[in-house]
Structure 1
Amino acid sequence: MQDSGKIFKDSALSLTACGVIAFAAIAAGFLVFGLTFLLILFPVAACVAAAYKIHLTGLQKRSELIEDANRLNQTTVEVLATAVDARDKIGTGHVRRTQIYALGLGRAAGMSQESLDALRLGSLLHDIGKLAIPDHILSKPDSLTPAEIEKVKTHCTIGASILEEIEFPYPVVPIVRYHHEAWDGSGYPSGLKGNRIPLGARILSIADTYDALRSERPFRKPMSRDEARRHISNLAGSRFDPDLVQHFLKNLTKFEVEIAAADVDYPKEAVPQRRTIEGKTYVERIQSANREVFTLFELVREFGESDSLGAMLKLFVAKLGELMPTDTCAVYLLHEGNEFASVAEVSGQNADIFLSKRVHVGEGATGIVLKNLEPVVNVNPDLDFSISQFDLVQEYQTMASVPLISESGLVGAVSIYTSSIGEYDEEHIRILTTIADIAARAIEKLQIHARTRAHALTDPMTGLPNARSLQMQFEREVARADRSNSNFQLIMLDLDGFKGVNDTFGHKAGDQMLREVGEVIYSQLRDYDFLARYGGDEFIALVPDMADAEVAELCERIENAVRSFRLAVNGSGSASVGVSAGAAAFPEKGESLDQLVVAADRAMYRRKSDRKNYDLMRETQAPEFDDLQSALSRMPTASPGGLIVELDESAVLIDSVN
């Protein structure tokens, strides 16, 4: 960049010197040759005057060209600086406001014109080094890690290296290199202290920090004017030159008037419009691209970290809503057999209706996508809805659907519906397809994980939870009981006569008996009770918030239901079993699963033994036993534990009678 004033001044000095010399020569010639010399000199002087006028005109034009070039360079620098700040999500007003603050503070501090010119460019280009910082760091919505902070710190030296390649007529590079140094020496990159930090860098540090505090960033809301003033004042003498801080705060109102006059005041909505590209300003295009890059980075990271398919799908539809115009976003997952898909996650309008929705492959817009494995774009949403929901589809103008294809094949489709635009453009579909590809791989991984987890926690014979799942549920029930100061009971259930089914009808019938009895037992429980196959012919139920009398009633109800069940075998025959139940309460009978299992098992075997004694008495000594039972029935009723004791005592009494 050239200074037109300096060029004009240098030229004027040269011409003045030439004029002095010419005047001395004319005077000497007149003294020697007299009037004749002057007559000869006049034509020459006229030619010289004409040449001088032409020279001045050329000089003026050259100065104007230089001024135009400087203005063009300044505009280019502003555009470049604005693009850099768009990557950093600061906003289009940041560089101009920072420049106004810096130049105003520079004048208040008595800087020379050359130093102000350097500060003018340095304030615009101070963050050019951020071109080398990854987008996901600049756009990160929360605090940076130590490694990320160190990466960001390199932008000062990188920016200085970039600008060193440009031959500025004034010292711009030191301002850019050292604008993050601190007055107390705690800054970077060189740890300079006090007046060793260039004045322009000290000024820019205050201006840049104040405007950053007033601007909204991805990780925080903007500070108010008073909050930012206090923050700058508190850092005087540590981070900032205290004398410059005084000048800055004293003249802040004046700076703000200049900022308002330049139409770059807070908030960012006051930013003047730049040249548009397809309806968006170039800043909006850059910011949109950065949002997309960061969102994709975030999706890959969070999808990879997720161990829950439900949570992953919620994130999937939420991010689509951030990047695209959607009123409703629905993820359809294919069922086994690949004949139909149902909605696994939905966000936006009509969510309740969508959650009950399923589509057959080949039917409707989404069904066609599932069949052909190709996107369907800008079709009538009516294709995806039945006649009974005709009022619903009027809310949407258009829709798009793309398949979710993983490495192993089709896993489903994602469909978006909107009434805010007439049609989706190529950019929308590109984003939708890109995110769908990322999501499909994550969905497949989580589905495999869920199946593996289900197999690890499910008994393959009955389809009920297994012993491992029982342990996990027990821990959850203990935590719940501790939180709510409540209790729960463990019921041990052991089949009676199951070995006879295996011996008589074969193991295939025995396996079927286990499955059917499991369903019978489950049917007697509440929705929130838990039933697991513990092993062999044993089942365990966990029942929260149930009194002893209710547990005793439940055990008897289960025993009666199982005893009444008949399994059809060998065409016309049938098999049946019984079941014995014993209960143990947490924490009275034990605080660990093993302790409760042992306690419930003892209660169950006492009950089983009592039943055998009871049946034996009825078969061998029915009259005497009936008289005894009649007498016992008139005795006071006891708890389930007491009932077992009474039965034990009755057995002893009957033995003595015999």
Structure 2
Amino acid sequence: GVAADLLGRFAPLADLAPLVRAHHEWFNGEGYPDGLKGEAISAETRIISIVNAFFNVTFDLPIKTETTVDEGLQELTRFAGINLDPALTESFTTMCREAASSKAPWYQRMLDSLMRSQPPSVPAGPRDILSVADSRELRIIYRIAQETNAVLDLDTLLTRIVNIIRDVMGYYMVSILLPGNKRDELRVGAHSGYSIDITGLTIPTAQGITGWVFTHGVPQIIADVKTEPRYIGLDEKVYSELAFPLISRGRVVGVLNAESQHVDAFSEADVGLMSAVGSQLASYLEVAQLHDTLKREASHDPLTRLNNRRLFLERIQQEVIRAGGAGESFSIVFLDVNELKRINDTYGHLAGDALLREVSNALMDAVRGEDVVARYGGDEFVVLLPATPAPAATIVAQRISDGIARHRFMAGRELLQIPGVSLGVATFPRDGATAEDLLASADATLYQEKRKAG
């Protein structure tokens, strides 16, 4: 865009303007600014893209070895048909390999130059629009593509993405923000370079630069955050910011945020690079988020949103191994809800569901963050208390019982008190050395208490 317009106004270089304008077009049509595809992109531009990509995966690397060229050519072939013209890419790699085999003089000179070259330094101030996006774009896309092939866990993928972008671009700090649990908030999904852990930090979408970008779907460059009233600062050394919306299928799925220690550190070159990698990044995130949602659905009870029986059994098995190896104890509290059948028969199953949800709320209010609460099945719930001996577990069980007694639930138009629960406690290893034995012991204690209560 901008560079091509400038060249077009300068007669001696006007013929170069179309080449520069098309420099970020992709062979598969997913590039910019015009979305050209295949042979609609000039042959000269397609050749320049291949040569530029070759330099990116060879000369721009910080460490070069005898295998650098061959590895670089292999990387080029992975992008044939995506960024690069497949036929021209094949011709280029064949030419290089034949020259290597015959020890052609031009190839030997290139190798000598390669081994002596230094990787480009990252400028402190604004980046040159003609040099940054084209030299770093492929590396970011390739490295993130490698990660998505191996990683579907959302948290892990997010962390690796911000590290890759910060490493390749030399940004001071990078973070990715995603929609939070509430409709009007964003949460920090991952970050790199921050002096404190801000993972999980929430920001209202009506506040901050990132909130504005998420709401409007438009990138923002803030040359000096000290003069920007919307800026939410976590590091006094930050002077400029770039926030870019990650858009997939017309919907903003997150915000990529970069910050710098220098005033006016970001330019249209950075926006151009984010435009080039942003759609791919947004697609990767959407797949990972879907996978994360499916994984959560598979491990959580749909009614109460508590962990389900399967996840609980996995966690208690892990705790048996951990506590056994460390010579520690832990406890579980098993409980079932009294009179659930009567509530269902009298008020209907919606009332019974409301009762179970309120019991789950009371349980979450009564336990620590590290405790694991699960719906075991039907009217049964179970709580895993890591590093908790029997006397402390008894106190927790009483706190759970007292807390549940204070909660109310809606049965039709009536606000009713929870009928109560029966509880059983078991402690590792005193009451059992395996998960099965502990659950059986807690269950037996529960029914003893139930019989005593009549």
* Fold similarity call, TM over 0.5: yes
Show the counterpart of 1:447.
289
Unaligned 5+ residue runs, structure 1? 1-82, 96-125, 138-151, 164-171, 177-207, 217-263, 272-277, 613-658
Partner residue in 2 for 1:376: 220
SS in 1 for 2:453: helix
Residue 326 of structure 1: aligned partner = 171
Question: 1:447-493 deviations in whole A, cap 9, x for unaligned?
Answer: 11121112111112222111112122112212321332223223221
- Give me the identity figure in percent: 23
Q: State the alpha-carbon separation in 2 of the partners of residues 569 and 336 from structure 1.
A: 27
CA shift for structure 1 position 516: 1.2
Cross-structure match for 2:123: none
Cα pair 1:586 1:596 within 8 Å, conserved:
yes
| Equivalent residue for 1:462, pick from 258, 282, 304 | 304
**1:307 alignment counterpart:** 152
In structure 1, C-alpha distance between the alignment counterparts of 2:369 and 2:181, rounded to whole Å: 26
Query: 1:335, 1:307 → 2: CA distance?
Result: 20
The reply to whether residue 159 of structure 1 matches residue 100 of structure 2 is: yes
Instruction: Describe the shift of the 1:547–1:450 C-alpha distance in structure 2 as closer, same or farther (beyond 3 A).
Output: same
3-state DSSP of counterpart to 1:494: strand
Matches within 5 A, 1:488-503: 488-503=330-345
How many Å separate the matches in 1 of 2:76 and 2:400? 59
Higher percent of residues as helix:
1
Q: Deviations over 1:254-308 (max 9, x none)?
A: xxxxxxxxxx8xxx77x9xxxxxx999x9xx79x966653342111110332222
Q: Distance in 2 between matches of 1:542 and 1:600?
A: 11
Residue 344 of structure 1: aligned partner: 189
Q: 2:278 aligned with 1:436, yes or no?
A: yes
> Is the contact between residue 334 and residue 340 of structure 1 (CA under 8 Å) also seen in structure 2?
yes
Q: Deviations over 1:226-276 (max 9, x none)?
A: xxxxxxxxxxxxxxxxxxxxxxxxxxxxxxxxxxxxxx8xxx77x9xxxxx
CA RMSD between the two structures: 4.5
Change (3 A) 1:601 1:371: closer
Q: Which residue of 1 aligns with 2:210?
A: 366
Bigger Rg, which one: 1
- 1:393 & 1:521 partners in 2: Cα distance? 38
User: Distance between the aligned counterparts of 1:84 and 1:607, measured in 2?
Assistant: 74
Q: What amino acid sits opposite 1:373 in the alignment? A: G
| C-alpha displacement of 1:321 | 1.6
Counterpart of 2:367 in 1: which secondary structure? Answer: coil
Q: Is the 8 A contact 2:209 2:230 kept in 1?
A: no
Work out which of the residue numbers 428, 444, 449 in structure 2 matches 1:586: 428
Letter aligned with residue 216 of structure 2: N
Specify the alignment match of 2:356 in structure 1: 514
Distance 2:71 2:310 in 1: 53
CA contact (8 A) 2:244 2:274 kept: yes
Distance 1:547 1:354, change over 3 A: closer
Residue in structure 2 matching 1:415, options 257, 271, 275? 257
Map 1:184-583 → 2, pairs under 5 A: 292-335=137-180, 339-349=184-194, 356=201, 358-360=203-205, 364-381=208-225, 386=230, 395-407=237-249, 409-420=251-262, 422-563=264-405, 565-567=407-409, 569=411, 571=413, 574-583=416-425
In structure 2, the gaps of 5 or more residues are 1-52, 78-92, 120-125
SS at 2:270 equivalent: helix
Q: Give the secondary-structure state (helix, strand or coil) at the position aligned to 1:134.
A: helix
**Stretch deviating more after TM superposition (483-492 or 555-564):** 555-564
Indicate conservation of the 8 Å contact 2:223/2:263, yes or no.
no
Cα 1:581/1:154, change in 2 over 3 Å: farther
Conserved in 2, the CA contact under 8 Å of 1:132 and 1:158?
no
Alignment TM-score, normalising by the size of structure 2: 0.68
Does the 8 Å CA contact 2:219/2:244 hold for their aligned counterparts?
A: yes
Which stretch shifts more, 372-381 or 299-308? 372-381
CA distance in 2, matches of 1:491, 1:279: 60
Q: 1:428 to 1:85 in 2, by over 3 A?
A: closer
Q: 1:329 to 1:482 in 2, by over 3 A?
A: same
One-letter code of the match for 2:157? M
Distance 2:420 2:183 in 1: 41
Instruction: Please give the per-residue CA displacement for 1:366-420, whole angstroms capped at 9, x wherever unaligned.
Output: 3443233232235443576558x68x78744432222101236210211222233
Cα deviation, residue 542, structure 1? 1.3
CA contact (8 A) 2:301 2:307 kept: yes
Match of 1:133 in 2: 73
Distance of aligned partners of 1:324 and 1:385 in 2 relative to their CA distance in 1, 3 Å threshold: farther
User: Which has the higher relative contact order, 1 or 2, with Cα contacts under 8 A spaced 6 or more apart?
Assistant: 2
Counterpart for residue 609 of structure 1: 451
Distance 1:355 1:563 in 2: 32
